[in-house]
Chains A and B, each alone.
Chain A
């Protein structure tokens, strides 16, 4: 995750409280999604950015997980996301992010 976005995530969590923040990822591959999810839960694994050593424990989803699809506007989903839903490996992306969420999100996602 680039350094500027790490700072924005950190600022948002501090300002609004981690329990009120949900991070939604649009990553194309499961390795990238896992690193992003790790960054917003355990901290930056590359130790390069503002979240290095900062375990925010935020609730994190990939946008293609069923819970996010259910929360989205169906017509807009069809228009904006359904194409990528067909192209990307939804199961692998969902598995990578849900595992990280289950193990490392300290705030409830409900």
Chain B
């Protein structure tokens, strides 16, 4: 958990990969502040 302690996270997810909200959930207690999470999709 110490890896992200005190950092500001920018989560750039992808619909066909790992979506932003999934990353926001797993890092919620990492000690980092999540500035934003986004999910892009390519069609």
The chain A residues found within 8 Å of chain B, CB to CB, are 1-2, 5, 8-9, 12, 16, 20-29, 32, 36, 40, 63-64, 67-68, 70-73, 76-77, 79-81, 84, 88, 110
- The residue of chain A having its C-beta at the shortest distance from the C-beta of B18 within the complex is A26
**B contacts with A, residue count (CB < 8 A):** 33
Residues 4 to 43 of chain B near chain A (Cβ within 8 Å): 4, 6-14, 16-20, 22-23, 25-30, 32, 35-36, 38-40, 42
Distance between Cα atoms of A36 and B17 in the complex (Å): 13
Q: Are B18 and A81 in contact (CB under 8 A)?
A: yes
Q: Are A22 and B14 in contact (CB under 8 A)?
A: no
* Further pairs besides A25-B12, A71-B27: 18, Cβ < 8 Å: A2-B40, A8-B38, A9-B12, A12-B35, A20-B8, A22-B10, A24-B12, A25-B13, A26-B12, A26-B19, A26-B22, A29-B17, A36-B12, A40-B10, A71-B3, A73-B27, A79-B25, A80-B23
